[in-house]
């Protein structure tokens, strides 16, 4: 197939020394099934479904760089070496089926210490094992939530070194892409948003001050990650709340991220006031794509679009129109772990069966030949 007839979704992308075989990525999805931060068999089963379905990149859920950085007791972590081995099983499965394993590293900040979503997602009580939370300022997410401790310089240094150590463990576990979680109201986003950052030292105030901590974390992770492998960053492109973070400010952040060597911005939105990200509540198909487009154009950095992208033609149009470089799909992957394979059939990509495990090719190719005949 000549280059210009290959669907955009199936054109490889090379970043640094790594080539993604297509443009589809499993978006990070917390499973709340970890024990003391360690992945369980559920995580393995969950990811193997995707690994076998033709996706280029499988991204593991928001993983706490410290125990207090988890959202719930069931979240994964990388703050001790014992957490590496169960993750290495998952990365090996992705590699076995020709996909790139990625991981999102984060700190939940003032949104830590909460119940699992199906238990209500409310702050944990002391009896349920609540732990102290930290944030740029001592402002709770809303009334009745934990009042976080305003971080002092020692806390800031501790979180930076936790990110460095967790990145080292992620590498030891076999991940090839690391994404910094800078979205959804968690710690890095809460430094950036004027609603949650009221500091009057060098880490607050104007945009320069509010960007400082997220940029320092990004630099540290970039330094800790091998030069031949990409580092990505997920933003909330706007707060979508009165007085909150604006897209223009996030574009400036992305320019600075590019300057320190971040390779792609994953464009989500919302989450500062305790709600889930806008991506999980807003019903409009592809409604966050304009953020990916604006950041790509204005900050001249590769972007990933996410949020209510479910259809192969929709994904193809986003890429063909130059609005993003990658497509992340979360919930549709739960319903259809072979989403990429089905997209290849829909878009008429060459040799679609090659996206599935090789032991299946012969049968599927033969069936296709019989149908044609």
Ligand X SMILES: Cc1cc2nc3c(=O)[nH]c(=O)nc-3n(C[C@H](O)[C@H](O)[C@H](O)COP(=O)(O)O)c2cc1C
Query: What residues are labeled active site?
Result: 186
CB hemisphere CA count around 64 (13 angstroms): 27
The phi and psi torsions of 61 (rounded to 5 degrees) equal -55, 165
Please tell me whether residue 23 binds ligand X under the rule CB under 6 A. no
Choice from 69, 307, 337, 352 touching ligand X (CB under 6 A): 307
Least distance (Å) between residue 63 CB and ligand X: 8
Q: Closest distance between ligand X and the C-beta of residue 333, in Å?
A: 8
**Would you give the DSSP letter of residue 22?**
S
Three-state SS at 21? coil
336 lies in the binding site for ligand X (CB under 6 A)? no
Number of residues that bind ligand X (CB under 6 A): 23
- Count the Cβ atoms, other than its own, within 10 Å of residue 229: 18
Is 330 a binding residue for ligand X by CB under 6 A? The answer is yes
Q: Where are the beta strands (DSSP E) in the chain?
A: 13-15, 18-20, 24-26, 57-64, 100-106, 134-135, 149-150, 177-182, 231-236, 264-268, 302-306, 326-329
Where does this chain touch ligand X (CB under 6 A) — which range of 23-31, 88-96, 142-150, 198-206?
A: 23-31
- Is 28 an interacting residue with respect to ligand X (CB under 6 A)? yes
Q: CA 186 to CA 190: how far, in whole Å? A: 6
Least distance between ligand X and beta carbon 18 (Å) = 21
When asked if residue 171 is in the footprint of ligand X (CB under 6 A), the reply is no
Q: Is the CA virtual torsion 268, 325, 172, 27 positive or negative?
A: positive
Contact status: 104 vs ligand X (CB under 6 A) = yes
Q: Which of 47, 234, 258, 323 binds ligand X (CB under 6 A)?
A: 234
Distance CA 210, CA 194 (A): 8
Place of tokens 């590769």: 302
Site for ligand X in 30-89 (CB under 6 A): 30, 61-62
Shortest reach from residue 286's CB to ligand X, in Å: 9
Q: In this chain, which stretch among 12-20, 166-174, 272-280, 337-345 interacts with ligand X, using CB under 6 A?
A: 272-280
Interface segment toward ligand X; rule CB under 6 A; list 125-133, 136-144, 164-172, 177-185: 177-185
Judged by CB under 6 A, does residue 13 bind ligand X?
no
Tell me if residue 4 falls in helix, strand or coil: helix
CB closest to ligand X, residue no: 330
Residues 6+ apart with CB under 8 A from 35: none
Could you please report the per-residue DSSP string of 128-171? TT----EESSS--SSTTS--PEEP-HHHHHHHHHHHHHHHHHHH
Per CB under 6 A, the segment of 26-34, 45-53, 200-208, 319-327 that binds ligand X is 26-34
The minimum distance between CB 62 and ligand X, in angstroms, equals 3
Pairing of strands 57-64, 326-329: unpaired
Q: Report how far residue 347's alpha carbon sits from residue 335's, in angstroms, rounded to the nearest whole number.
A: 19
Burial class of residue 244 (count of CB atoms within 10 Å of its CB; 0-12, 13-18, 19+):
middle
Among 13, 15, 20, 27, binds ligand X (CB under 6 A): 27
Cβ-based neighbour number of residue 329 at 10 Å: 24
Residue 66 vs 268, nearer CB to ligand X: 268
List 21, 46, 70, 181, residue binding ligand X (CB under 6 A) = 181
CB 27 → ligand X: shortest distance, Å? 3
Q: How far is the CB of 103 from ligand X (least distance, A)?
A: 10
Give the one residue of 112, 279, 294, 295 binding ligand X; rule: CB under 6 A.
279
Stretch that binds ligand X, among 35-43, 200-208, 275-283, 314-322 (CB under 6 A): 275-283
Q: By the criterion CB under 6 A, which residues form the site for ligand X?
A: 27-30, 61-62, 104, 181, 183-184, 234, 268, 277, 279-280, 306-309, 329-332
């Amino acid at each position: 197939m000549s280059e210009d007839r290959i669907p955009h979704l199936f054109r490889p992308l090379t970043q640094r020394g790594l080539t993604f075989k297509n443009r589809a990525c499993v978006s990070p999805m917390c499973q709340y099934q970890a024990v003391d931060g360690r992945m369980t068999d559920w995580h393995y089963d969950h990811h193997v479904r995707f690994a076998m379905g033709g996706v280029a990149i499988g991204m593991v859920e928001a993983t706490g760089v410290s125990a207090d950085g988890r959202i719930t007791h069931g979240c994964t972590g990388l703050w001790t070496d014992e957490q590496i081995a169960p993750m290495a099983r998952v990365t090996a499965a992705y590699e076995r089926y020709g996909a790139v394993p990625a991981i999102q590293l984060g700190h939940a900040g003032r949104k830590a210490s909460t119940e699992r979503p199906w238990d209500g997602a409310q702050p944990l009580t002391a009896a349920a094992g609540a732990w102290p939370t930290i944030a740029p300022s001592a402002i709770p997410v809303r009334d009745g939530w934990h009042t976080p401790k305003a971080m002092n310089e020692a806390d800031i240094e501790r979180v930076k070194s936790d990110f460095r150590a967790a990145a080292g463990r992620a590498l030891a576990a076999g991940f090839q892409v690391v994404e910094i979680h800078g979205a959804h109201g968690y710690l890095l986003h809460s430094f950036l948003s004027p609603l949650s950052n009221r500091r009057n030292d060098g880490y607050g105030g104007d945009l320069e001050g509010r960007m400082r901590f997220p940029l320092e974390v990004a630099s540290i992770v970039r330094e800790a990650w091998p030069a031949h492998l990409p580092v990505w960053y997920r933003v909330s492109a706007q707060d979508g709340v009165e007085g909150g973070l604006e897209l223009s400010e996030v574009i400036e952040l992305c320019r600075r991220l590019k300057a320190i060597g971040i390779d792609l911005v994953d464009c989500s939105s919302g989450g500062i006031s305790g709600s889930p990200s806008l991506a999980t509540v807003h019903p409009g198909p592809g409604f966050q794509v304009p953020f990916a487009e604006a950041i790509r154009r204005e900050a001249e950095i590769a972007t990933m679009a996410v949020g209510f992208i479910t259809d192969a033609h929709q994904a193809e149009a986003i890429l063909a129109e130059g609005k993003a470089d990658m497509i992340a799909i979360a919930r549709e992957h739960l319903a259809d772990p072979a989403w990429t394979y089905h997209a290849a059939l829909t878009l008429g990509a060459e040799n679609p069966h090659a996206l599935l495990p090789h032991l299946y090719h012969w049968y599927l190719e033969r069936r296709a030949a019989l149908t044609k005949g």
